[in-house]
Amino acid sequence: MKAKAEIRLKFPSEKALKTVSDALLPEICKPVRGRANVALETDGLCLILKVESEDTVALRSALNAFLRWINSMTNVVDVLEHCS
């Protein structure tokens, strides 16, 4: 692997962190064939997204996809928390 990125995202609660990380598991466990490997870890209230790829184009593509999914999920969690 030639390109790597590690992104740490802090969540407001364990519930929000678990919801997002659980929702991403299918993408991590059975990824579409591609040029990037993605791993998720948690550390306290942080979600750690690790991406390794053959080149920067694949790295950018994987990061964009996962960050957009995470953003969408956090928006949904926020709406649901405000409705309850």
Question: Is 64 a residue whose pLDDT tops 80?
Answer: yes
Rounded to whole angstroms, the Cα distance separating 78 from 16 reads 9
Rounded to whole angstroms, the Cα distance separating 17 from 45 reads 7
Number of H helices, E strands in the chain: 2, 3
What does the pLDDT read at residue 82?
Answer: 87
Whole-model pTM: value is: 0.89
Band of pLDDT at residue 15, cut at 50, 70 and 90: very high
Domains observed in the chain: 3-83 (3.30.310.50)
Angle at CA of residue 21, ends 40 and 84, nearest 5°: 160
What does the pLDDT read at residue 1?
Answer: 65
